[in-house]
Amino acid sequence: MIAYVSCHDDLCLVDRLKASIPEAEYDENELIRLDELAQTAVLTSQGVPFILSGEEMLRDKKGVHNSFNSPDSINHLDWNNLKAYPQVFNYYSGLINLRKNHPAFRLGSADLVRKHLEFLPVQKCLVAFHLKGHAGGDKWNNIYVILNANPELRTVNIPKGKYTIVCANGEVKESGLGEMEGGEVTVDGQSALILHD
């Protein structure tokens, strides 16, 4: 399975977000939150992640779907975006390193996925899953990934215990951003929360 949210022969992610949620075009912070949330889904999914070049710096193609015959003004990578949005680049880098360093995010077989991955109860515009039992030989025992696309915060129930937060509010830090008690946990709007014990 290949996981992706944009590719070369369709809208790039920023253009897709602008087309899907027109009001996001005028709120740069929302656009960044949604961009990061989408790539969190890709990079924490099982299978092979695929990222279009330039996504890590909020590339756009001026709304052109299939730009194979478009000029450089549409297809170029604007390297100024890297300076303008370093937080997006750092977020992507953090997710890529998290995936590389933790085999739970790349189990490699359907049997291992069935054994170690379970989804938490469904909520509108929210997906949450649990990678359990040192999945794939991971050093982390239980990993919870919660993706909240709602504009408002949501709560999700996880088992009681002490967890280390590694992703929250547009920041990824494998060594930890802090700790959180289990039970009812809150996830900010349009953001991801990843934690482990």
Range of the domain at 175: 109-196
Q: Could you give the count of Cα atoms lying within 13 Å of 173 in the half-sphere of its Cβ?
A: 12
Max mean pLDDT among 15-19, 58-62, 114-118 falls in 114-118
Verify that 140 and 55 share a domain, yes or no: no
Report the pLDDT value the prediction gives residue 193, as an integer from 0 to 100. Answer: 98
91 contacts 171 by C-beta, under 8 angstroms = yes
118 in the same domain as 95: no
The average confidence (pLDDT) of the chain is 95
Label residue 164 by pLDDT band (50, 70, 90): very high
Are 90 and 145 part of one and the same domain?
Answer: no
Q: Which of 101, 127, 159 is the last residue of a domain?
A: 101
160 — phi, psi (to 5°)? -65, 155
162: pLDDT strictly greater than 70:
yes
Question: How large is the average pLDDT for residues 72-89?
Answer: 94
| pLDDT for residue 26 is more than 90 | no
Say yes or no: 131 and 78 in one domain: no
Under the banding of pLDDT at 50, 70 and 90, the label for residue 22 is confident
Measured distance CA(43)–CA(106) in Å, rounded: 9
Same domain as 116, residue 54: no
**Residue indicated by tokens 């959180």:** 180
CATH classification of the domain holding 150: 2.60.40.1180
Same domain? For 71 and 19 the reply is yes
Residue 116 binned pLDDT confidence (cut-offs 50, 70, 90) = very high
Q: Are residues 78 and 155 in the same domain?
A: no
Share of the chain above pLDDT 70, in %: 98
Report pLDDT for 66: 87
CA distances (Å), origin 172, targets 40, 57, 90: 10, 16, 8
Q: In this predicted structure, what is the pLDDT of residue 1?
A: 86
Q: At 24, is the pLDDT very low, low, confident or very high (cuts 50, 70, 90)?
A: low
135 and 191: one domain?
yes
Task: Evaluate whether 190 touches 149 at the Cβ level (below 8 Å).
Answer: yes
Given a contact cutoff of 8 angstroms between Cβ atoms, the answer to whether 46 and 64 are in contact is: no
Across the range 36-53, mean pLDDT stands at 96
Instruction: State the total domains in the chain.
Output: 2
Same domain, 10 and 82: yes
- Residue 47 confidence (pLDDT) above 90: yes
Rounded-to-integer distance, Cα 96 and Cα 68, Å:
28
Q: Is the pLDDT of residue 156 over 90?
A: yes
- Identify the domain boundary among 80, 101, 122: 101
Low-confidence winner among 17-21, 24-28, 32-36, 61-65 (lowest mean pLDDT): 24-28
Give yes or no for residue 25 having a pLDDT over 70. no
Regarding whether 142 and 88 lie in a shared domain, the answer is no
Task: Note whether 96 and 128 are same-domain residues.
Answer: no
Is 113 found in the same domain as 65? no
Q: Which of 101, 129, 164 is the last residue of a domain?
A: 101
